[in-house]
Structure 1
Amino acid sequence: MYVCLCVGATTQTVSDAVAQGASTSKEIAALCGAGGDCGRCRRTVRAILAASAELEPAATH
């Protein structure tokens, strides 16, 4: 699914940025561009970050 139409970033693109270490929407914008232009996708970007943070402790156990 497309997250950011401005740069054509998909859910996978944003998830890859998180996997590379991005932990804020600004870091995601720097890595893949999502959320760096008009900002309409920032809520979705933050939701992907939150979901990733929730899954991270479970993945280490």
Structure 2
Amino acid sequence: MFVCLCNGVTSHTVADVVAAGATTTNEIARVCGAGADCGRCRRTVQAILRSSSPDRKTSRR
């Protein structure tokens, strides 16, 4: 699914950037461009970031 239409960034790409160590929306924007232009996708990028955080994964167990 496309997350950032301005830069053609998918949710998979954002998840890969987070898995590689990005911890903020600014880092994600710098690496892949999601959220770097108009900012409409920032909430979705934040949701992907939160869902990938170690704290959330630990709390599921």
Establish whether TM, by shorter chain, passes 0.5: yes
CA deviations on 1:30-51 (whole Å, 9 max, x unpaired) are 1100000000000000000000
User: 1:41 is matched with which residue?
Assistant: 41
- Identity, % of aligned pairs? 60
The number of equivalent residue pairs is 58
Runs of 4+ in 1 over 6 A off after TM superposition: none
Whole-Å Cα distance in 2 between the matches of residues 51 and 41 of structure 1? 15
User: 2:19 is matched with which residue?
Assistant: 19
Deviation, structure 1 residue 25? 0.1
Whole-Å Cα distance in 2 between the matches of residues 32 and 17 of structure 1? 7
Specify the SS of the correspondent of 2:14. Answer: helix
Q: Structure 1 length as normaliser, TM-score?
A: 0.88
The Cα RMSD (Å) is 1.3
Unpaired runs of at least 5, structure 2? none
Q: Structure 2 length as normaliser, TM-score?
A: 0.88
Deviation, structure 1 residue 20? 1.0
